[in-house]
Amino acid sequence: MHYDFTTIYDRHGMDALAVDGVGSMPGFSPDAPKNGTTFLPMWVADMNFATVPTIPQAIAARIQHPLFGYFRPSEAYYKAIIDWQRTQNGVEGLLPEHIGYENGVLGGVVSALNVYCSKGDNVLVLSPTYVGFTSSLENNGYHIIHSELKRDEHGIWRMDYPDMEEKIVRHKIHATIVCSPHNPCGRVWERWELEQAMELFRKHDVMVVSDEIWSDLTMPGYQHIPTQSISEDAKLRTIALYAPSKTFNLAGLVGSYHVIYNKLLRDRVDKESSLSHYDEMNVLSMHALVGAYSAEGRQWLTELREVLQSNIDYVCDFLEAQLPGVTCAKPQGTYMVFVDCTQYCAAHELTMDTILKRGWDAGVGWQDGRPFHGAHHIRLNLALPHALVIEACKRMKQSVFCD
């Protein structure tokens, strides 16, 4: 490997919710470990790897010029996004006018829904569901209608199209969120799956917010397919959201963007996000994106995906071989594994509270899957050095699934 994915960084006191937020958000963050055990951060969705060097280099170069006044996004910013979307996702014809800054992807989701819906409207969301969708939709007065993903005969999470259609009709739904790749289930949707979903949305006039924040983090062999590339109709009924934050561990720098081809929607979203007067870019975040979306960024990402694949393989094989009753569908994208403890809990008459607590006490900083609508699930972040993943598995066997 050319880049470093093995150094174990001490992130304490370095602006890291993953370690400093432990025990601070009941129901969301893990409890602190017991007896001075080391803490393994495997919950909030950021990575324990240093990012690609071109990012700090780009920021450092900009800081040399110590004036930080008002600014407009540079040509280099738009060019970086257009080139990135072409090489990563095969997107042709993307122009600067289609791209718009968003402070966060969730903010973009809410702006898009505000354009599509009236307060109190029903919005279709697939379940299990990213907890951020639940909180931001509820916070903004939308009513979530879930359609459950189902695992097929090979254990792969699939959309249930008849259920989606029935709910769209029954609840008069005209807006939905597509999460692609899917957090927390790790699906990289195949073209036919997106085609079938988009056909349903066309048939029933459902407008689409496509959250593609995880689009770069597909495992080797899996290709992300932008929702807007499915058809001309999909292109015009979809507001897509992207960011370098998951890919390059930049959440703390803030900076996402939308792609909207439909001029009417674009103007409405711009208006909507202008209302708060808070949706403006930070100049260092702009330079970070340009540093990220570069040839070196691409090379770093190729290596990162291999590292994540080996972590995912290790954990999934470990569960299967060593922890009877604890299962998962192997993620095709993201760095999250949604671990299913249903059988283990039943066999040993244990609750999820007990399982989670045993892990936290042993320093396995995993996340309760229930807020993601997994009744007996744990969301496990595998973006950390392989040695720590091995250690986490060891602790799971010794201290959690040890009955």
Ligand X SMILES: Cc1ncc(COP(=O)(O)O)c(C=O)c1O
Q: Which is nearer to ligand X, 44 or 341 (CB)?
A: 44
Build a one-symbol-per-residue string for 145-184: x at contacts with ligand X by CB under 6 A, - elsewhere: ----------------------------------x---x-
Shortest distance, CB of residue 208 to ligand X, whole angstroms?
15
Kindly state whether residue 259 participates in binding ligand X, applying the rule CB under 6 A.
no
State the burial class of residue 184 (Cβ atoms within 10 Å of its Cβ: 0-12, 13-18, 19+): buried
Build a one-symbol-per-residue string for 313-352: x at contacts with ligand X by CB under 6 A, - elsewhere: ----------------------------------------
Stretch that binds ligand X, among 98-106, 158-166, 260-268, 269-277 (CB under 6 A): 98-106
Shortest distance, CB of residue 213 to ligand X, whole angstroms?
4
Q: Which long-range contacts (CB under 8 A, 24 or more apart) does 221-226 make?
A: 222/188, 222/332, 222/333, 223/188, 224/88, 224/89, 224/180, 224/181, 224/188, 224/333, 225/89, 225/180, 225/189, 225/190, 225/191, 225/194, 226/85, 226/89, 226/91
Q: Which is nearer to ligand X, 124 or 400 (CB)?
A: 124
Nearest CA among 304, 309, 315, 302 for reference residue 333: 309
Contact by Cβ (8 Å): 379, 369: yes
Q: How many CB atoms lie within 10 A of CB 75?
A: 9
Binding test (CB under 6 A) with ligand X, winner from 116, 130, 189, 248: 130
Kindly state whether residue 245 participates in binding ligand X, applying the rule CB under 6 A.
yes
Stretch that binds ligand X, among 225-233, 243-251, 266-274, 276-284 (CB under 6 A): 243-251
DSSP secondary structure string for all residues of 149-216: -EE-TTS-EE--HHHHHHHHHHTT--EEEEESS-TTT-----HHHHHHHHHHHHHTT-EEEEE-TTTT
Binding test (CB under 6 A) with ligand X, winner from 159, 188, 208, 243: 243
Shortest distance, CB of residue 1 to ligand X, whole angstroms?
26
Binding test (CB under 6 A) with ligand X, winner from 18, 45, 115, 378: 45
Binding test (CB under 6 A) with ligand X, winner from 29, 54, 88, 256: 256
Q: Determine the residue with CB nearest ligand X.
A: 104
Q: Which two tokens stand for residue 180?
A: 């692609």
Q: Which is nearer to ligand X, 187 or 268 (CB)?
A: 187
Kindly state whether residue 52 participates in binding ligand X, applying the rule CB under 6 A.
no
Three-state DSSP at 144 gives strand
Contact by Cβ (8 Å): 123, 113: yes
Q: Can you give the binding site for ligand X, defined by CB under 6 A?
A: 45, 104-106, 130, 132, 179, 183, 211, 213, 243, 245, 251, 256
